[in-house]
Structures are given as structure tokens and as C-alpha cells.
Amino acid sequence: MKRCPSCNHLADDAQKFCTIDGTPLVNVAPEPVAARAAAPPDADGPIQRIQCQWCRAMNDKTALNCRACAAPLDIQDLVSESGWREAPRIRDMAEMHFGNSTCQVEGEIVPVAEINLAPGDSVFFEHHVLLWKDDNTPLGVMQLQGGMKRALAGMPFIISLAQGPGRVAFSRDQTGELVVLPLHPGMELDVREHAFLLASHHISYSYVRIKGLRNILFGGQGMFMDRFVTTSAPGLLILHGYGNVFERVLNAGESILVEPGAFLYKDSAVTMDVQPQQLTTGFFGGQSMNLAKMTGPGRVGIQSMYVHHRTD
Amino acid sequence: MQQPSLSPQRSYTCPWCTTTSDGTRLACPGCGVSINVRENVTESGWIELPGRKDMAKIQFGDSYCQIEGELVPVADMSLAATDSVYFAHHVLLWMDTQVRVSAMSLKGAWKRMLAGMPLIMTQAQGPGHIAFSRDASGELIALPLQPGQAIDVREHLFLVATSDVTYDWFQTGVWFTTRSGDDTETHYPLGMFMDRFTAPQKPGLLLLHAGGNAFIRTLAPMQSILVKPTALLFKDPTVQMQLHFEYPRTNSWSPWMSWSHRQLWLRLFGPGRVAVQSAYEPIEDNGRTISRHSNATNRQW
């Protein structure tokens, strides 16, 4: 196993450079979870830390949930034999930290992200995901470029901003999971439009136009995808996936075919190209099926309930 | 439905699908249900679909299926080169690039098209991984079919089946017409057709997706029960169906047999198993008088 010294991304031994930021990888020997759990709490020697298997953040050895993404630290990752890793089921009322603020995840069927914003911290979001807020939590609007293009493409051209101090809570309109993605500096993530719930103000938000007419018409994403970029400071991005969410890391040149409506997020290095599949039968013609060919290197996230829910 | 049993040789018979395994596994290899988990049976006799651990595996042929997730579960199949499955194309979630897909034509294409049923099924041939899911929260139901066994499934609930299972369909025979002036409309509360899956010679595997939770019970000969038509999930072919109308008494004036006061039910007669789902679509109504209907009973309260 190798690790990126810059963003802590883990990679296979065969890889030399990080698929996220291109930094040369270094060898690591991850400590088994069982061994960590068995370690006596008052052992002498260097301070033991637990690395979160989902976001790679380091945590105190007594922590039950990751401080950065709230993933349970005492439960092994669920990985299918085909290589998909299930997004961690965040415990009800688990808490995560970003900047000087906290986020508590409440509920398990349609989870709520409740943010306690510290002074100086802020989060941005699409206005229709707002569930409740304190009377005194200030709301504002984030300036965006290309407002006309976004409006024409059916994307929100106003992104709302909640500033601390105060509490504000967010949820979506269907059964699903919160996917917490702490972004390390220098990361770029593409997200299906309308799938993001909130992001901290350290993350810069833009959009990327989907290339190719076939991808626009049959890709199930519309014309644009949201792009989230961190420059110098880390940030917190929370998505809402419909149904269950699974992630897979593709090696360079490795491809997989995905139902376009199931696509949730990907590293910007992953390319997407729609491939039509013709299914015909005799006199009645047939049906065509379009699948998105995702090619690595990088992460791909999908949601199992993939109907496209329109939002206004 | 039997209780879980461990024989002296430590073999285990699954109460859900009756597959016998060696008793050393944590889950039934036939349907993925956790072994030795006590059945949840309601006081009225409905058995809740038994629990299944996330990532549980089901074997079929030289292949296996892994059930992933608990809100909208995914059936992730690892197909051996000799095995294939078929499905309606809109349930495909992802697949390896080497999996070969082709169309499987069906008889009665014209009628199926008129009834809004899928015109073709898609067939996937191994080797490779392919995964399926539906677009609503619920449960995956694995029904291993023994040679000679058949099952009737309400339309649009089928997820995927192995190629050893044959697919056929039949008219439900459950309908009524409403009339307003010269305008007559025919309604099919169950749909015009039902799917029938049969394992003629070899055992096969059928996967369904239930909306919400799934419950099953076994009806004795001539025992009947009323269910909402769209809640029906599957039944044994021996179970018969007919319509049942109820007209609750109302204090306010209304024309007799007006839709606003009638309840529409599906009566199921044993012997055999019936299964229902807890999340079901409401039946569309147009508020008009029923002029004709298939075999039905009615009751006024």
C-alpha cells in the first residue's frame, strides 16, 4: 500500500504517482483495525492515532467516529467483491468538525445535516435544501459566474450562503445517505448537478460543461456538472445520494459502464463518455440504452436509486 | 413456512427458500437470508421478509450475487462464462465492459406494447460483473425456484432472473369499466398482464424488488384475504384472484356506487403463498360509475 504525502490518498503498490494531485507516492504499512482496537488505552510510546478508512483523516485513538467525516471508526469498510466500497453509514447524531464549526448528522432514512457555524465560518448551498435555521443566522447570496448559462441549463444561478454564528440545517427530499467528502488542498471533484447539499466556504464552486453532444443529450446529467476545488485550505463537501452510495477507485485506463442517472461524483481526472447500446428485436425495432463509460484514474461515486429527481 | 432447522449432520434448511446448506455458513446460499435469525411473524400471520446482512452472497450455477446496501439494495452479480441473466433494461446500474448484452425477444410483442410492458428483455452473458437496482427504497427478494416450480409476479416488480428460469405472461382477468355518457373506460387494477416465472428443468434464481417492506403468508385451500391490488407482490399459481367492492355507509347524500365511497380490493383464494409490499401506488380513479366488471363480490356496510 502507498500513500500520497500531500493529500493522504491511498493507492496500490503498482502506482507511482497520486491519482488526485500527481505527487510521488510513499510506502505505508497500515495498521489493522483489530490491532488498533486491541491496543491498551494507556500504552506507553508515541501517541497512537486511527486513520479513517473513508477520508484518511487521523483521529484520536479513543474516537468512535471520524472527526472530519463522522464515519464510524470501529466498523470495517464494506467492500463488494467487484470492488465497490459502500459509503459509511453515519451513526445517528454523529458529529464532524470543519474550521471552528461542527456538523451533526441526524436521522438515518432522510438524514439531516445540522451545522453549528462559528463566527467567521460559512457554508453555501442550493436554497431548496434548507430545512430550518436559527432566527439570527445571517443568510446571503454567493456571487457566481455565468449566471445566464446556468439559468439556461436549468442549474441554480443563485447559491445561498449561511454565515456564522448560528445554526442551520439541511436535508433533501428522498431516502438516501449523506456522503461526507472532506477535500484536501488541491483537490478537484465533479458532482452531478443538484446532488450537493452544502459545502464550506473554503471550497471554490464552479461548473464544468459536459463535452460532446451525445454526452449532453444522453448522459442524464444535463449540460453542466458542479465542480468543487480546494486551493490552499481543506474544506468540507456534503452530498446527498439517493438510496445507497458506492465508491470505486479506477486505475489509469481502467473503465466501467455506469447507468448515467446513477452517477453521483468523480475525481476530475476521470473521463466520462456516453456509449449507446442498441437492443433490437425484429419487426418492433427495439430500445436503445445509454451507459456512461467512466475511465480512470480516480474515484467514481454512484447512487443506487438513480431516477433523476428534478428540482426547481 | 417452516422454522429453521439444524439436523444432526449440521445441515441447515432455510425457512424462507427451503435451500439446504451445510450449517457452517452465516447466510443461506440460496437467498442470502441470515441463518438462525428468528422469524418476525405478525399476530395476524404475516411473515416479514427475514433480515439479510449487507454484502450477503447468493450462489447460482457457477456464479454468485452479492446484495449491497440496505435503503435501495443493489444486486451485484459475478457471472461465470457459462451463466447469463435477463432483465428489463431500465434496472441496469453498472457493468464491466466485457459483459455482453443482447436483446431477448418476447412473444406477444404487440399486446405487451399496448399494455405498457417492456417489449424486450435484455440478456447479459458472463464472464464479468453486472449490477441492478430499482428507483425506490425497499427490499430485494431472492426466490430460488426448484425444478417444476412457478411463481406469478405483478408487473414491473421483476428485477433479474437467471436464464434457467423461463419468462411468460398471462392476462390477469381482473378488470372493470366505468362509464360517463358514451365514454367507457376499462381499468386493470393489477395491470393487464402478470409475469409468470418457471424453472422447468433446472433450479433458477429470481430477484424481485419490493417497495417498502415485504410480507408473506400461506393461505389454506379456499382461505381468502383482501389486499390492495397494487400491494400484491407475488403469488403461487394455485392462488386465485377476483375483485371485491365495498361500499361504506355515509351520512351525507351521494349517488349510490359513487367512487368516493367505494373501496376496491383484490380477493386472493388459497391454497398457496401470497406476498405483499408495504409501499404501493394508489389506484387511479375517475369517480365514475362502474358499468361492468370481471368476476367480483361486493358488500355494503
In this structure, which amino acid lies at residue B14?
C
For A63-84, how does the pLDDT look when each residue is reduced to its tens digit (9 = 90+)?
Answer: 999 999 999 998 888 999 999 9
Largest CA distance in chain B: 71
Q: A3, A25 in Cβ contact below 8 A?
A: yes
Q: A192, A126 in Cβ contact below 8 A?
A: no
Considering chain A, what percentage of its residues have pLDDT values greater than 90? 49
How many other CB atoms are there within 10 angstroms of residue B83's CB atom? 20
The domain spans of chain B are 8-300
Q: B162, B123 in Cβ contact below 8 A?
A: no
On average, the pLDDT of chain A sits at: 82
CA distance B75 to B69: 9
- Split at pLDDT 50, 70, 90, the class of A33 is very low
Q: Check residue B258 and give its pLDDT.
A: 47
For A175-221, how does the pLDDT look when each residue is reduced to its tens digit (9 = 90+)?
Answer: 999 999 999 898 999 999 888 999 999 899 988 776 666 666 665 66
Helix (H) or strand (E) holding B111: helix B109-114
8 Å CB contact of A289 and B122: yes
CA distance B148 to B217: 21
Collect all residues with Cβ–Cβ distance below 8 Å to A54 and sequence separation of at least 6: A66, A69, A71, A77, A87, A88, A180
Average pLDDT over residues B22-45: 81
pTM, whole model, 2 decimals? 0.80
Q: Which domains does chain A have, with CATH numbers?
A: 31-39+47-303 (3.60.160.10)
A310 at interface of B, judged by CB pairs closer than 8 A: no
For B154-170, how does the pLDDT look when each residue is reduced to its tens digit (9 = 90+)?
Answer: 988 999 999 999 998 89
Closest Cα partner for A304 from A167, A145, A179, A160?
A: A179
**A16, pLDDT greater than 60:** yes
Average pLDDT over residues A240-260: 94
Q: State in Å, rounded, how far the first CA of chain B is from the last one.
A: 35
Q: Check residue A93 and give its pLDDT.
A: 93
Mean pLDDT lowest among A39-53, A235-249, B142-156: A39-53
A306 at interface of B, judged by CB pairs closer than 8 A: yes
Burial A173-209 (b: 16+ CB within 10 A, else e): ebbbbbbbbbbbebbbbbbbbbbbbbbbbbbebebee
Q: Which carries the bigger pLDDT value, residue B226 or residue A46?
A: B226
Residue B150's φ and ψ, nearest 5 degrees, are -135, 160
- Split at pLDDT 50, 70, 90, the class of B92 is very high
For residue A203, give how far its alpha carbon lies from the nearest alpha carbon of chain B (Å). 30
For residue B117, give how far its alpha carbon lies from the nearest alpha carbon of chain A (Å). 13
**B206, pLDDT greater than 50:** yes
Q: Check residue A284 and give its pLDDT.
A: 55
Mean pLDDT lowest among A23-32, A88-97, B62-71: A23-32
Q: What is the secondary structure of chain A as a DSSP string?
A: -EE-TTT--EE-TT--B-TTT-PBPEE--PPPHHHHHHS-TT--SSPPEEE-TTT--EEETT-SB-TTT--BSSS---B-TTSPEEPP-PPTTEEEEETTEEEEEE-SSS-EEEEEEPTT-EEEE-GGGEEEE-TT--EEEE--S-HHHHHHTT--S-EEEEESSEEEEE--SSSEEEEEEEEPTT-EEEE-TT-EEEEETTEEEEEEEPPSHHHHHHSSS-SEEEEEEE-SS-EEEEEEEES-EEEEEEPTT-EEEE-GGGEEEEETTSEEEEEEEEEE-GGG-EEEEEEEEEESSEEEEEESS-------
8 Å CB contact of A284 and B113: yes
Q: For residue B97, which residues of chain A lie inside 8 Å, CB to CB?
A: 255-257, 293
3-state helix, strand, coil in chain B (%, to 5): 5, 50, 45
Q: Check residue A157 and give its pLDDT.
A: 64
Q: Check residue A269 and give its pLDDT.
A: 94
Largest CA distance in chain A: 77
Torsion of CA A276, A281, A284, A290, to 10 degrees: -10
8 Å CB contact of B109 and A284: yes
For residue A80, give how far its alpha carbon lies from the nearest alpha carbon of chain B (Å). 7
Q: Which carries the bigger pLDDT value, residue B107 or residue A275?
A: A275
ipTM of the complex: 0.76
Q: Which carries the bigger pLDDT value, residue A145 or residue B50?
A: B50
Q: For residue A87, which residues of chain B lie inside 8 Å, CB to CB?
A: none
Assigned superfamily of B8-300: Mitochondrial biogenesis AIM24 (3.60.160.10)
8 Å CB contact of A82 and B78: yes
* Highest mean pLDDT: which range of A5-14, B39-48, B224-233, B243-252: B224-233
Q: For residue A272, which residues of chain B lie inside 8 Å, CB to CB?
A: none
